[in-house]
Amino acid sequence: MPAVFPADSVGLVSPQRLAFQQPLALACGRQLDSYELVIETYGQLNSQASNAVLICHALSGHHHAAGYHSVDERKPGWWDSCIGPGKPIDTNKFFVVSLNNLGGCNGSTGPSSLNPATGKPYGADFPVITVEDWVNSQARLADHLGIHQWAAVVGGSLGGMQALQWSISYPERLRHCVCIASAPKLSAQNIAFNEVARQAILSDPDYHEGRFQELGTIPKRGLMLARMVGHITYLSDDAMGEKFGRERKSATHNYDLHSVEFQVESYLRYQGEEFSGRFDANTYLLMTKALDYFDPAAAHEGDLARTLSVAQADFCVLSFTTDWRFSPARSQEIVNALMAAKKNVCYLDIDAPQGHDAFLLPIPRYLQAFSAYMQRIEV
């Protein structure tokens, strides 16, 4: 618990809940008649509304990106390393908007919300949401906040996909697009990892075809397994080696088939356990589907340069050397397409041992480049 918040923290923050009554048409053909989004904002919107930055979250993210909800909160928001006074997304300069995406499980309308038509939780009946749908809902959010054009749309991983989609769907509504540790589409290997995670959930007897909430259960084992698999792919071999090596909980082998012996097992179980207690299984399925479906170039026979030719924003693309879930080569595909489309783009592949998770960490080279880019943005 921080007795006093650090000087470079946005400090105490509280979420707001916004209701949208206009129906939102979705890529799947269905629509949401009304929905709610939970957001947080940091900093002040200037009089021309020209200093707004949208933060798009990744698979398990949410609106609480920076600061603390209370003095008792153990850890700050998920991207506190990059958002705050003097940090790359400097709240002295920018008005930062962070939301929980539709289909999420942290307050915005999603599978665990009550379906107004039935009075029961949506569960697996909640429509599948795509990255395009998220961007459309975020555009409505911008309208609601009186923001015609974002100074920047910023995101890592699945969030980077949303930032990229913004530059395609609403080219005139953002001046800068910051796409970190992301990809223009998932590879077969990536979809395969998602499928393992989904099968873990779907095959859990407590999943009950997505109606577990009505029945008062949670597919805890499935969620835990999904998170364990995911977590392995977010770390590099070196990062895991550094953190756990072959360290054991006891000096000797137990010679049984069931006990937790290596520290890495214990860590993964803890991560899975913690995650399964706070995350909704249907949201996890939905988020992985949104990842799998994302492929903006598909509309142009796979030609990403042609897809991005409509973009008007300047781009900053960042990747991390040891990230194998969203490898530097995937970021370079985006960069090459942007250069072929003659767009302004900066690209840096940051030498970091932490794997995909690096985008959340305060790595000096990363913060330096990220800050340099954000500082040059005129507001």
Partner 1 sequence: MRADLEIIQHWIPAGSRVLDLGCGNGELLAWLREHKQVSGYGLEIDPDNIAHCIERGVNVIQQDLDQGLGNFASDSFDVVVMTQALQAVHYPDRILDEMLRVGKTCIITFPNFGHWRCRWYLASKGRMPVSDFLPYTWYNTPNIHFCTFKDFEALCHQRQLRVLDRLAVDRQHRHSTASRLWPNLLGEIGIYRISRV
Q: Which is nearer to partner 1, 159 or 328 (CB)?
A: 328
Q: Which is nearer to partner 1, 299 or 372 (CB)?
A: 372
Q: Which stretch binds partner 1 (CB under 8 A): 1-9, 193-201, 258-266, 341-349?
A: 341-349
Binding partner 1 by CB under 8 A: which of 28, 243, 342, 361?
342
Contact 185, 328 (CB under 8 A): no
204 annotated ligand-binding residue: no
**Do strands 16-20 and 35-42 pair parallel, antiparallel, or not at all (unpaired)?**
antiparallel
227 annotated ligand-binding residue: yes
Residue 373 lies near partner 1 (rule: CB under 8 A) = yes
Q: Which is nearer to partner 1, 266 or 336 (CB)?
A: 336
Q: Which residues contact 285 (CB under 8 A, 6 or more apart)?
A: 124, 198, 201, 202
Q: Which of 57, 323, 327, 331 is catalytic?
A: 323
Comparing C-alpha atoms, which of 279, 20, 28, 18 is closest to residue 129?
Answer: 28
To the query of whether residue 237 is one of the catalytic residues in this protein, the response is no
Q: Which of 157, 169, 276, 331 is catalytic?
A: 157
Rounded least distance, CB 116 to partner 1, Å: 48
Q: By CB under 8 A, what part of segment 277-336 binds partner 1?
A: 316, 332, 335-336
Residue 369 lies near partner 1 (rule: CB under 8 A) = yes
Residue 174 lies near partner 1 (rule: CB under 8 A) = no
Contact 153, 96 (CB under 8 A): no
Q: How large is the C-alpha radius of gyration of the chain?
A: 21
Residue 375 lies near partner 1 (rule: CB under 8 A) = yes
- In this structure, the number of other CB atoms found within 10 A of the CB of residue 5 comes to 15
To the query of whether residue 157 is one of the catalytic residues in this protein, the response is yes
Question: What is the b/e burial string over 341-356, where b = at least 16 CB atoms within 10 angstroms of the residue's CB?
Answer: bebebbbbbbebbbbb
Residue 351 lies near partner 1 (rule: CB under 8 A) = yes
Q: By CB under 8 A, what part of segment 103-162 binds partner 1?
A: none
Q: Which residues contact 265 (CB under 8 A, 6 or more apart)?
A: none
Q: Which is nearer to partner 1, 263 or 332 (CB)?
A: 332
Rounded least distance, CB 164 to partner 1, Å: 17
Comparing C-alpha atoms, which of 150, 195, 133 is closest to residue 46?
Answer: 150
Task: Give rounded-to-5 percent helix, strand, coil for the chain.
Answer: 40, 15, 45
To the query of whether residue 182 is one of the catalytic residues in this protein, the response is no
Q: Which residues are catalytic?
A: 157, 323, 356
Report the interface residues with partner 1, using CB under 8 A.
316, 332, 335-336, 339-340, 342, 344-351, 365, 368-369, 372-373, 375-376
